[in-house]
Structure 1
């Protein structure tokens, strides 16, 4: 019990919370950009533009079948070899945005495909352009169906930020490692703290998704 009391000192908790802030910061920025890019890629793959959709589909499938850790290594260690040097946080955000965009693109493509074809035909027959029908009729219906898988993907992204410890991103897991690295008696308390903090963030996302889903329905 004393180990827990000592491990959760004001200094250590403050250090953990600074790591949590970095985790949330990287996650929010990555979620924002990956949602936009993933939506564009998902639509581009669905509409089947000659050659372009096939190329987009190949890129999406390629990225989806690569481990996130490899993409993190590439953005942080390989890009400097071609003159692109990124600090840890931008490199982490770019890697996670690239990976999550590909994952979301497939979710969005499937969601659009789940909307009855008659919806597009009805919109077009009422004088809407294809773009208007897609943005005003199809996508809003598709997003209602996609809320659970999209939120699950965002939760995975939050947890995946811990992988960025490999490039020394000063996020939650890395800060916990530093604390119990100084005193092995703090290992279990830090694991408990990590579990609780990740749970709080991810549970908040889950609750938000249920609220949004309820309002939309």
Structure 2
């Protein structure tokens, strides 16, 4: 375990550059997957004949597949077959958005289903349309219940970005692997530093999730 040779300024800067890619990837994927998850969750909750069933089946299939497979398939098969030659960064965003969007859609749907049906009936009987009921009654109440599990899913997303190393995305794990290959004695030190960076960010997010959960219990 050679910490001195591992923690040179150039190595630490190289790891930090990789972690910046990780954080940027996670941020964009969080925003995209949240938007996709909200749309899918509401459409599934609406129970549109046939469409909602087909959509639900598609979401269930995606949720049952490993993210590693989705990343590999998106970058090397799906996007090229559709005529898109994109960078590993864009492919990773697409794959994470699809996978995490499916996960978040289930959180959204479950949150909406947790609201008592009586409130919906009361809102509709008072003259509100379905859209108005959804916007003014259901979503504000469900949002408070959905926030903690949504933040937890975002934490999982940040950790899942490490899988993008399979498509040679130059994120932090990719950089850590290169540094480790140059000096086998520094593997532990390098991975330890990467673990600390992940821990700091995820610990902060977990604290936010716990505070939100305690606030809305």
What band does the TM-score fall into relative to the shorter chain?
over 0.9
Cα deviation code 1:121-172 (max 9, x no counterpart): 2222232211111122111211211222211111111111111100011111
Corresponding residue for residue 160 of structure 2 = 160
Q: Which runs of 5+ in 2 are unaligned?
A: none
- Equivalences for residues 169-184 of structure 1 within 5 A: 169-184=169-184
Corresponding residue for residue 83 of structure 1 = 83
Higher normalized contact order (CA 8 Å, seq sep 6+, divided by chain length): 2
2:142 is paired with a residue whose SS is helix
Corresponding residue for residue 8 of structure 2 = 9
- Equivalences for residues 63-78 of structure 1 within 5 A: 63-78=62-77
- Equivalences for residues 63-212 of structure 1 within 5 A: 63-78=62-77, 79-212=79-212
Distance in structure 2 (CA, Å) of the matches to 1:128 and 1:120? 9
Alpha-carbon deviation of 1:208? 2.8
Distance in structure 2 (CA, Å) of the matches to 1:8 and 1:127? 66
Q: How many residues align?
A: 216
Alpha-carbon deviation of 1:200? 0.9
2:193 is paired with a residue whose SS is helix
**8 Å CA contact 2:23, 2:158 repeated in 1:** yes
Distance in structure 1 (CA, Å) of the matches to 2:69 and 2:4? 38
Corresponding residue for residue 19 of structure 2 = 20
Pairwise CA RMSD of aligned residues?
1.6
Distance in structure 2 (CA, Å) of the matches to 1:133 and 1:216? 22
Corresponding residue for residue 36 of structure 1 = 35
Comparing 81-90 with 39-48, greater Cα deviation is found at 81-90
2:199 is paired with a residue whose SS is helix
Q: Which runs of 5+ in 1 are unaligned?
A: none
Distance in structure 1 (CA, Å) of the matches to 2:103 and 2:174? 25
| TM-score, structure 1 normalization | 0.94
Cα deviation code 1:65-120 (max 9, x no counterpart): 11111111122111213412111100000000000011111111111111111121
Alpha-carbon deviation of 1:188? 0.5
**8 Å CA contact 2:149, 2:209 repeated in 1:** no
1:83 is paired with a residue whose SS is coil
Distance in structure 1 (CA, Å) of the matches to 2:131 and 2:8? 56
Cα deviation code 1:27-56 (max 9, x no counterpart): 011110111110111111111111111111
Comparing 122-131 with 112-121, greater Cα deviation is found at 122-131
Distance in structure 1 (CA, Å) of the matches to 2:92 and 2:81? 17
Distance in structure 2 (CA, Å) of the matches to 1:215 and 1:129? 31
